Each structure stands twice: as C-alpha cells, then as structure tokens.
Structure 1
Amino acid sequence: MAPTPAPTALWPAPHASGAVDATVHVPGSKSVTNRALVLAALASEPGWLRRPLRSRDTLLMADALRAMGIEIEEGVGPDGTGEAWRVLPAGLRGPATVDVGNAGTVMRFLPPVATLADGPVHFDGDPRSYERPLHGVIDALRALGARIDDDGRGALPLTVHGVGALDGGPVEVDASSSSQFVSALLLSGPRFNQGVEVRHTGSTLPSLPHIRMTVDMLRAVGAQVDTPESGGEPGVWRVTPGALLGRDLTVEPDLSNAQPFLAAALVTGGRVVVPDWPARTTQPGDRLREIFTEMGGSCRLTDYGLEFTGSGAVHGIDVDLGDVGELTPGIAAVAALADSPSTLRGVAHLRLHETDRLAALTKEINELGGDVTETADGLHIRPRPLHGGVFHTYEDHRMATAGAIIGLAVEGVRIENVATTAKTLPDFPDLWTAMLGAA
C-alpha cells in the first residue's frame, strides 16, 4: 500500500487510460457515526456502534466525548466480528477541553451536550473553525438558560459552563446557514428537563435530509419527536424529555463519499459497484442515483449494493442542490467535463463550509481552463477544454476529491494536500488508485 502523501506534497491525480470497472467498499457515514456517538453518550445504558467511520472528524468527536467523561472502547462487536465501538455513558464532567478541528458536527453538536456536564467545557479548533457560523447554537442555548462565554463573537473559541442540567423548552433559531443548528438542539433535547421545541425562523433551511437523519436516529433510541413531516407545525421540531436507549447500530456506508467513485464510472464510461448501499436511507448522498443518471449514467440497486454504469457521455444539468449541498463540488467537477452547460442552484450556504466552496470551485476549475461563474446561490458552468495544473484544496476534503475527478479526464492535474480527505474518507488516495488499477 502506498504511503499517504504529506500535506505539503502535490499529488499527481491519476489519469484514466480507459473505462473503470471496480468494486469500491466505501467506509461508514460520518454523519451517522457522529450522531450515533452523541446519542450513545447521552443514553441510559451502554451501546454498540458497528463499522464506525474512523476519520479525523469522527475521532475528534470520540475524543471530545472522552474528555467529558464518556468511555468509548474500540474493538470488535458483541458477536466477535467486525470493528465496533462500545460506548459506556457516564456522568458528563468538566473541566474539559475539546478540539473540534474543522468539524461542523463536533463544533455544533457538542455545546448542547456540554450544558449537561458538571463543570466548564472549553471548545477550540482549527483557524478556519473560527470563521464558521455557530451563533445559532450559542444564542439558542443562552435562551434555554445556558451560560456561554464567547466574547460576543458568536463563534469559536468558547466555553460552556455546564451545571449538570438544562431547563430546555421552546427556542427560536435561524438555521439558514446550517441545518446542524437544528440537529444540535434535537440530539441533546431528550436530556433537557423540559425537552426542546426548536422553531426555525429563517427564510431557507438547507440540508433537510440531515435533519430527517437526526430525527430517525433519535426515534431509533426511544425518543419521542414531533416534526413537520409527522403532522406537526411547519418549521417546528419538538423532542419530549426522556431516557435514551443503548442500541446496537451498524453504520451505513457514507453515500456522499461514494460520489467520486460513481463519478469515475460516469466520466470514463465505466462501471463501479458500491456494496451495502441501503435500500432506504436519510443520507443526502442517495440522491446521486438520480443526479448522475440525469448526467448520463444508469444505476441498478441489488441485494449486494449499487451498480452504477457510465454511458460514455456526460451531460450538463440544471439542478437545485439546496438539500444536498455537500455534493456540489463533485457535481461541479463532472459538469466541467460535460457536453453542455450546467447550473447548480440553492447552495449559497456553501460559502460558509470548510472553505467558501463556490469561490474555490470557480477559481480552481477556471485556472485549469474552465468557464465557471458564481451566481447569487450557486454556479454556472460552461464546459471548456481543460489542461493540467495545480488544484488547490483549501483544507477541504471535497475540493480534493473534486480535483481527482477532473484528473481522470485531464492529464497533469496535481492535487495540493490530498491528505485533507482524511477528514471523512481515510485512505482516499489508495482507494482511488486501487479503483483505477482494477480497470
């Protein structure tokens, strides 16, 4: 196995000499793993988490919970097979220090947990984390009775002064910049004395599938949740106070991380199989089946997994990605290689992600000869013949995989800091080269 490139190295993105034909085992979902860790830590009894994703973001979450007194044992499942984590809930405690890295789930999901700790919990992270919006969680927790010191920034670094409990109750939050504000409050809501009623006040709400994932996972551990979809008031989610059950949960493959591999089949006119693709899921990445089919591929879901096949042609697309914004970099990369223009809409919130993804995609694709323009809420992409060059990643894992997709069809693309993919997709360079080696 080739060593992972150093962060400062330029990784020559492999160029596909023909159609790929490979089976790719995609690691577990970051979104599911980190929600499951939080719920298991707040449960009233131990739980198992099978096939968890081991990546920077999930290890940051596990280490943060350990810092607050939760025991997480790494080993095999209760039946003696497969990697698993056993989570032993305990009294949350401070003082503690949490490194969030640049993980949105850690910086947003854990301050509500910290209000339940007996003592102060200090949160800090990477320089970029200071620029990411956190005001929705901070303001909501203060309205619910928490004491938080952030020097008025509405951002990191900050300290939550936990007193072992939080009253909870109704609260308003503008989650226009991140649906994680809603999920963060819902996840800890069962442990608040009055539960929580979250009322979204903004004009838009991105990434609704992630809120549905949060609700489904809460219900799976015994929480009572009322939602707009279940006949509740529009824009309002209610969680009833109560004990959470310890569960034996198997983590689904991360469907968003399957994107570059499916894109490889589309771009090269080949075939990629992703085992264990779920027949039913709340993961936003499941929409890739629809989007990439419209862009020229075809897919078949079997008992084994998803089989995706490219036709040899890549078509442009006009699509609203508001619910699935994390897919935008990979779709933009494919669109830059299409036979007609594309318009990607509904993703203004991407300017506040790991980097300003709209500006970054525009700059990097254009520097390879592309023609991308930013719109108020997305991108317009006119395909042009591309050439090699350095593709900068801005410490953003999805920028790195977008560059790799372009490199399949364009010789001489070099990815700066491909190691940033370890945030959610460990060993990406090895998985990528193995896929091509199977062709």
Structure 2
Amino acid sequence: MTAESRPWSAPPATGPVTATVRLPGSKSMTARALILAALADGPSVIEAPLRARDTELMAAGLRAIGVGVDTTDPARWVVTPGPFRGPARIDVGLAGTITRFLPPAVALADGPIEFDGDPHMRKRPLRPIVAALRTLGVTVDASPIDGLPLTVHGTGPVEGGEVVIDASGSSQFVSGLLLSAPRFAKGLTVRHEGPPVPSAPHLRMTTHMLRAAGAVVDDSVADVWVVEPGTLRGRTWTIEPDLSGAAPFFAAAAVTGGAVTLAGWPADSWQPVEQAIGIFRALGAEVTRSADGLTVRGTGTLRGVTADLSEVGELTPVVSALAALAEGPSELRGVEHIRGHETDRITALATELGRVGATVSEFPDGLRIEPGPLHGAVFETYADHRMAHAAAVIGLSVPGVELADVGCTSKTLPEFPELWAGLVAQRS
C-alpha cells in the first residue's frame, strides 16, 4: 500500500436499502467538454462537472498550456481558450482520458509538452496515439513501449489528413484524435483496423459532443470517422450524472431487495444507459425511469448471467461482484480491454473474488464466476476505484470485507465512502 492508502471496512446492510442519490457528473462527459472548450473559439461553461482527481488533473494540464480554467464554483466551471504554449509538464495521475485526449491537442501548441503520471500509467497502452501523431508529422518522444514518459513537440499548426490505427485496446484512441481533428488544417480521417473497438457508446458520445460544438463528423462507414476542418464553438455544457459511478449504488438495491433512485437523470442520455439497464434486468433487478430519475429495485433474487460487456466495460467490477452473490454461475465476456485499465481488472477481480470465496476462472476477454459461501477478507483495490466499488458491493452481504484502500475512489468520486455509508444506513 502507498502512503496515501486508507483502509476501510465495508459496511454490511441489515435490511433493504432505499434511497435517492445525487451523484457528480460523468467523468467521460466532463473530460470531453474540457477538451472541446479549450479548443473552442470563445469561452465555455461546464455545468455540474465531475470534480475529482482525474478531471482536476485535466484542468491543471490545460492551465499548464495556457487555457483559463476557473473551477472556483464547483458547480460551474468557466473555460477561456488561449493559444497553447510550451514548455509545460502535465501530470496525468492514473487518468487514461488525459493520456489519450491531451497529446493530440497539445500537438497544436508552440513548444514541448511533457506527460508523466503514476507508476502504473507507464504500463498503459499509448502506441496508437503516438503512432498516429507521428504519421501526422508531429514529433513525439516516448518510452521504449511508446508510453509514458512522453513529450509532444508542438510546432503550432497540424496539417491533418488520414491515419490508420488499431483501437481495439481502447475507444479513447479514436476519441482523442477526433476531439482535436477540427483544428487540424485538413481535418482528419481515422480508420480502425483490428479487432472490434470496445466501448462504442463512448465513441458515440464523442461524435455527439463534437457536433454539438459545431464540428462536421461523418461516421456513416463502420470503423471510419471523418472530421472536417472548422471552428469549434464555445457553449454551455450540462454534464449528466455519471452512470458508471452510479453502478455500485444501483447494485446496493439489487443485493438488498431495496430501491435506489439516481436523481437528475436526463430524458435523453449520451451514456450507455440502455445497455446498463439490460444487464441489471438480466441479473434480476427491476429498472424504471421517471421524472424522479433512474431507479433500480431489487426483487430478492440475483441471477447468474451470460453477458457481453464490451460496450460497458466500466461496469465489469460491479457486475462481477453481483455475479459472486448470485444464485448461479455467470460468464462475463468481451472485456479484454479492461486488462489495460487502472490495473489488469480481469486478473484483479479473479484474485479478489477468489479471496472472499468465489470460484473464478479467467478468459482472455472475461471471467466465469461461480458463487460459493463467501467470507470476509482484505480486498486489495490496486489503486483502482472500480475495484473498491466491487468490494463495497460484496461487503453488503458478507461481513468482514476490508478494503485495503478506499482512498483510490477519489479518482472519480472523492466522497464515495461517506455516500456509501449513508446509503447503507438508509433502510426501508
């Protein structure tokens, strides 16, 4: 454990959990809004942003290259574009969004921009972004595996053109290139060649937000994205509540037979809500939408599932925890890409669910989970917020689950321990 580690006992539920929760904004939307605002032709406002380590590091990175990012009001950030300039050093922490979204943007800077972060980030894949930028004529210094530490030598304009990449490791490789593409002199065509790109809903979020900022994007051909050169408009972005961050709270309802409502859910969402609803229903929960928000109700039964999670890989840790508490075995597939997240989530989940008594087998792209008599244990979190969420869900039903470090939840939801304890204390 690191010096900042914060051991924590997961509170068990003593009855059905019934609550309405209000969660901060989507990390994915906040990160995209920050980049688009920094590249825009005038000021932008980001309403209800996620204020957490990942997004604060993104804001700090933009400030380092000359962008005004005023976060004085936590509910209303103001972004004022300015000419990107170096030299600058950017700390990415453990944020994949920064390492995939900012390098293409800072290629437009005047001067060298250095990137580095937490030790594990030096293992995370960046080669498709590095190779694409080099194809476009940008000078990039990188580690022997084309990862961090990394320096982008910005020279001002980027000509653009066409790149071919393998984005099977992360949809963020495509998103990162597309977000800056309108500012390239010739725009950009991105072609993916390789196994399917995971997390397709996040790519749709990127193209929706680009169009909302005034970009012309053609994604009518599978695995090809064409962005025309043009101006991005400053505007007001209203950030939705974070669906992935809500998953453990919804799981609390499913595990305890209670009901949890996520307040403030929009009628039309840019997040993969339909896929998430389908998974919770397959597990045995009821899901409804109303003016009050998105509600998950437990039915007293948790069923094993066979599910392709390729479009909602971020849900894998919480779904795995539910599978370990279900009445029958589950197979979760399509998530090989999560081996390259904050940790190798497939191996980490197999190890930790096994530690508390489940029988877990690994596939290259997922897990088979057979429930068994579960028992308390120290659940390692691997500096990974989603692993902490999984442990908290297990702890609802299994006394004695101790998280090695709950502090890692600060990556996307610093108040998670307090919110979770308050949730478990609210019973019907």
In which range does the TM-score fall when normalised by the shorter chain?
Answer: over 0.9
CA shift, 1:204, in A, is 1.7
Distance in 2 between residues matched to 1:274 and 1:235, nearest whole Å: 34
CA shift, 1:153, in A, is 2.5
Match of 1:138 in 2: 130
Instruction: Give the secondary structure class of the aligned counterpart of 2:372.
Output: coil
Match of 1:362 in 2: 350
Instruction: Give the secondary structure class of the aligned counterpart of 1:59.
Output: helix
Distance in 2 between residues matched to 1:8 and 1:123, nearest whole Å: 24
Q: Percent identity?
A: 54
What aligned pairs does 1:169-248 form with structure 2 within 5 A after superposition?
169-227=161-219, 232-248=220-236
CA shift, 1:26, in A, is 1.2
Instruction: Give the secondary structure class of the aligned counterpart of 1:292.
Output: helix
C-alpha contact 1:259 1:285 (8 A) present in aligned 2: no
Match of 2:251 in 1: 263
Match of 2:389 in 1: 401
Match of 2:34 in 1: 37
Match of 1:300 in 2: 288
TM-score between the two structures when normalised by the length of structure 1: 0.95
Instruction: Give the secondary structure class of the aligned counterpart of 1:198.
Output: strand
CA shift, 1:7, in A, is 3.7
Instruction: Give the secondary structure class of the aligned counterpart of 1:425.
Output: coil
Give, as a single letter, the amino acid of the residue that structure 1 aligns with 2:79.
Answer: V
Q: Which residue, 22, 27, 41 being the options, matches 1:25?
A: 22
Give, as a single letter, the amino acid of the residue that structure 1 aligns with 2:248.
Answer: P
What aligned pairs does 1:35-434 form with structure 2 within 5 A after superposition?
35-76=32-73, 83-227=75-219, 232-434=220-422
C-alpha contact 2:339 2:346 (8 A) present in aligned 1: yes
Distance in 1 between residues matched to 2:270 and 2:238, nearest whole Å: 15
Instruction: Give the secondary structure class of the aligned counterpart of 1:58.
Output: helix
Distance in 2 between residues matched to 1:299 and 1:178, nearest whole Å: 29
How many pairs align?
426
Once structures 1 and 2 are overlaid, which stretch shifts more, 342-351 or 151-160?
A: 151-160
Instruction: Give the secondary structure class of the aligned counterpart of 1:60.
Output: helix
Unaligned runs of 5+ in 2: none
List 4+ stretches of structure 1 deviating above 6 A.
none
Give, as a single letter, the amino acid of the residue that structure 2 aligns with 1:384.
Answer: G
Distance in 2 between residues matched to 1:152 and 1:362, nearest whole Å: 30
RMSD after superposition: 1.3
TM-score between the two structures when normalised by the length of structure 2: 0.98
CA shift, 1:152, in A, is 3.8
Mark the CA change 1:188 to 1:343 in structure 2 (over 3 Å): closer, same or farther.
Answer: same
CA shift, 1:286, in A, is 4.9
Distance in 2 between residues matched to 1:104 and 1:285, nearest whole Å: 22
C-alpha contact 2:253 2:259 (8 A) present in aligned 1: yes
CA shift, 1:285, in A, is 5.0
Unaligned runs of 5+ in 1: 1-5, 77-81
Distance in 1 between residues matched to 2:361 and 2:272, nearest whole Å: 25
